[in-house]
């Protein structure tokens, strides 16, 4: 845990626990929200091949996760950490954010 705290630049175990909770809540929420969003664009698991449905659902989850990560980070008082985390992730994808 010490290396992770040093790498992320955080001081307390409490802050580390909050960050882990934000990651967990964000992942669960993004996965849950993906189903209604895929239905909204007309792709249903019952009527669409799994070879189409699952890649589309994963592509829907990705941007939802990115937005929710910053929102939940803000709600849990860790906006700065998650905003920096998000900028680094987007930079690695070739998207530059100021």
The span from the first CA to the last CA of the chain, in angstroms, equals 30
Q: Is 87 exposed, middle or buried (0-12, 13-18, 19+ CB in 10 A)?
A: middle
pTM of this structure = 0.85
Query: Are the C-beta atoms of 82 and 73 separated by less than 8 Å?
Result: yes
Specify if 8 maps to a domain: yes
Specify if 98 maps to a domain: no
Specify if 65 maps to a domain: yes
Specify if 84 maps to a domain: yes
Specify if 81 maps to a domain: yes
Where in the sequence is the domain holding 39, given as residue range(s)?
2-92
Specify if 69 maps to a domain: yes
Rounded distance between C-alpha atoms, residue 70 and residue 22, angstroms: 9
pLDDT in tens, 10-63: 989 999 999 999 999 999 999 999 999 999 999 999 998 989 999 999 999 999
Number of domains in the chain: 1
Give Cβ neighbours of residue 31 (< 8 Å, ≥ 6 apart): 61
């Amino acid at each position: 845990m010490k290396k992770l705290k040093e790498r992320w630049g955080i001081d307390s175990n409490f802050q580390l626990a909050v960050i882990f909770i934000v990651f967990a809540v964000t992942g669960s929420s993004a996965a849950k929200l993906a189903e209604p969003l895929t239905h909204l664009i007309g792709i249903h698991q019952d009527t669409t091949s799994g070879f189409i449905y699952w890649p589309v659902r994963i592509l829907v989850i990705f941007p939802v996760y990115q937005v929710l990560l910053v929102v939940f980070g803000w709600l849990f008082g860790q906006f700065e950490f998650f905003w920096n985390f998000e900028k680094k992730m987007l930079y690695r994808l070739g998207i530059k954010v100021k």
